[in-house]
Amino acid sequence: MRKIAESTVRRLSLYLRFLEHFEEQGASTVSSEALASRGGTTSAQVRKDLSFFGSFGKRGLGYDVSELRLRLRDILGLDRRYRVVVVGAGKIGSALVQYGGFRERGFDLAAIYDNDPAKIGRTWNGLTVRDVAQLERELRHHPADIGAVVTPAEAAQAVTDRLVACGVTAILNFAPVQLQVPDAVTVKTVNLVLELEALSYILANR
């Protein structure tokens, strides 16, 4: 498959959300204009985005909702299941484990780790917090696809290095640190405070 831009992948996710909603409502076809409105783009861009993966639409009829939804799920890799390990059992870590949305999207939370004896052994949503000292040993037997780094900032790089050494190639980072990883590893960061500060910078410097 041709390498496609990150911004295209993001739009495909947005189109998919829209198609899921549309299908729930019983719609069978959708126009590129409707998809464009959801992706913040133009219908020409929608047609271009989708043309990467073969032709779907029929001129004048639009796209078949169900067919396009399945095709996008396939393109985005959502028909496989992914093993996710979480490192850090603080507030956000425990919220992640309790969030039901992962499993229904194909992301199985396999384990949660911490180094705090007060947290090790606690159980959330059927998952018991494990000692991070066991990380390497356990990942050797049960490799993970994605590592969620939910530690304090000071610990995040070291934890990431350990996950990468265990063969994890996709990191979901919640710590306020720019993680350093080899080229073959991908990091996505989710951090509310960083986004808020980006807004406050703009508001303060207008």
**Residues making contact with a copy of itself (CB under 8 A):** 1, 6, 9-14, 16-18, 21, 37-41, 75-78, 80, 82, 95, 101-102, 105-107, 145-146, 152-154, 157, 169-170, 172, 176-180, 186, 188-190, 192-206
In angstroms, give the least distance from the CB of 47 to a copy of itself: 17
Structure tokens, 48: 């271009």
C-beta of 41 vs 120, nearer to a copy of itself = 41
Exposed, middle or buried: residue 153 (CB in 10 Å: 0-12, 13-18, 19+)? exposed
3-state class of 189 per DSSP? strand
In angstroms, give the least distance from the CB of 21 to a copy of itself: 6
In angstroms, give the least distance from the CB of 163 to a copy of itself: 13
C-beta of 34 vs 120, nearer to a copy of itself = 34
HSE (side-chain half, CA atoms, 13 Å) at 172: 20
In angstroms, give the least distance from the CB of 164 to a copy of itself: 14
3-state class of 153 per DSSP? helix
Structure tokens, 34: 């409707």
Among residues 147, 148, 103, 150, which one has the least CA distance to residue 125? 103
C-beta of 66 vs 169, nearer to a copy of itself = 169
C-beta of 134 vs 200, nearer to a copy of itself = 200
Residue 142: DSSP 8-state: S
Contact 51, 97 (CB under 8 A): no
